[in-house]
Structure 1
Amino acid sequence: MRRVVFNQKGGVGKSSITCNLAAISAFEGYRTLLLDLDAHANATRYLTGLGGDDAPLGIADFFKQTLFPGPASIKSHIHIHETPFNNLHLISASSELEALQSKLETRCKIHKLGKLLDSLDEDYERIYIDTPPGLNFYSICALIAADRCLIPFDCDSFSREALYAVLREIEEIKGDHNVRLEVEGIVVNQYQVRNALPHRLLDELLDENMPILPVYLMSSVKMRESHQACKPLIYLAPHHKLSRQFEELFDLLEEHA
Structure 2
Amino acid sequence: MKVLGFWNNKGGTGKTSLAFQGICAFATQNADKRILVLDVCPQANLSELLLGGQENSGGLNLLTLHGEAGRRSIGGYFQSRLPKPFDTTGLAPNGFISVPHSYNPAVPPNLRLLAGDPLLELQANAVSTLANTQIPGTDSWAKVVSWLRDFLAACDEHYDYCFIDTNPSFSMYTQIALAACERLVLPVTADDSSRRGIQNAMSLIYGLKLPSEVYAQHNFHSRMLAAGIPLPKVHIVAKNRLTQYINTAKSYTAVLSGIAHDLDAMVKDNPEYFTFDSVASGIEEIKDFQTAGVVAFARGTPFVSMQSGSLSVAGQRVKVDKPQLDQNRDIVHALAARFW
Q: Indicate how the Cα distance of structure 1 residues 27 and 67 shifts in structure 2: closer, same or farther if over 3 A, else same.
A: same
Tell me, yes or no, if structure 1 residue 86 matches structure 2 residue 109. Answer: yes
Distance 1:71 1:245 in 2: 41
In structure 2, what is the equivalent of residue 33 of structure 1? 36
Contact 2:236 2:283 in 1 (8 A): no
Tell me, yes or no, if structure 1 residue 48 matches structure 2 residue 65. Answer: no
1:168-204 Cα offsets, whole Å, 9 max, x none, are 2121345531324211021111112413233212222
In structure 2, what is the equivalent of residue 229 of structure 1? 299
The alpha carbon displacement at 1:237 in A equals: 5.1
In structure 1, what is the equivalent of residue 122 of structure 2? 99
Distance 1:81 1:223 in 2: 25
TM-score (norm 1): 0.90
The alpha carbon displacement at 1:37 in A equals: 0.8
Contact 2:237 2:284 in 1 (8 A): no
In structure 2, what is the equivalent of residue 18 of structure 1? 19
Distance 2:88 2:259 in 1: 51
Structure of greater Rg: 2
Distance 1:198 1:249 in 2: 22
Equivalent position amino acid for 2:257 in 1: D
Structure 1 unmatched runs, 5+: none
In structure 1, what is the equivalent of residue 167 of structure 2? 132
Equivalent position amino acid for 1:182 in 2: K
Deviates more, 1:207-216 or 1:102-111: 207-216
Tell me, yes or no, if structure 1 residue 247 matches structure 2 residue 256. Answer: no
Contact 1:59 1:78 in 2 (8 A): no
Q: Indicate how the Cα distance of structure 1 residues 71 and 234 shifts in structure 2: closer, same or farther if over 3 A, else same.
A: closer
Number of paired residues?
A: 254
The alpha carbon displacement at 1:252 in A equals: 2.4
Instruction: Report sequence identity in percent.
Output: 20
Tell me, yes or no, if structure 1 residue 187 matches structure 2 residue 196. Answer: no
In structure 2, what is the equivalent of residue 200 of structure 1? 254
The alpha carbon displacement at 1:116 in A equals: 0.6
The CA RMSD measured in Å over matched residues stands at 2.2
Equivalent position amino acid for 1:121 in 2: D
Contact 2:23 2:336 in 1 (8 A): no
TM-score (norm 2): 0.69
1:32-72 Cα offsets, whole Å, 9 max, x none, are 11100111110010000333772512110000000124996
Distance 1:163 1:182 in 2: 13
Tell me, yes or no, if structure 1 residue 61 matches structure 2 residue 76. Answer: yes
Q: Indicate how the Cα distance of structure 1 residues 242 and 174 shifts in structure 2: closer, same or farther if over 3 A, else same.
A: farther
Deviates more, 1:185-194 or 1:70-79: 70-79
The alpha carbon displacement at 1:253 in A equals: 2.9
The alpha carbon displacement at 1:76 in A equals: 4.4
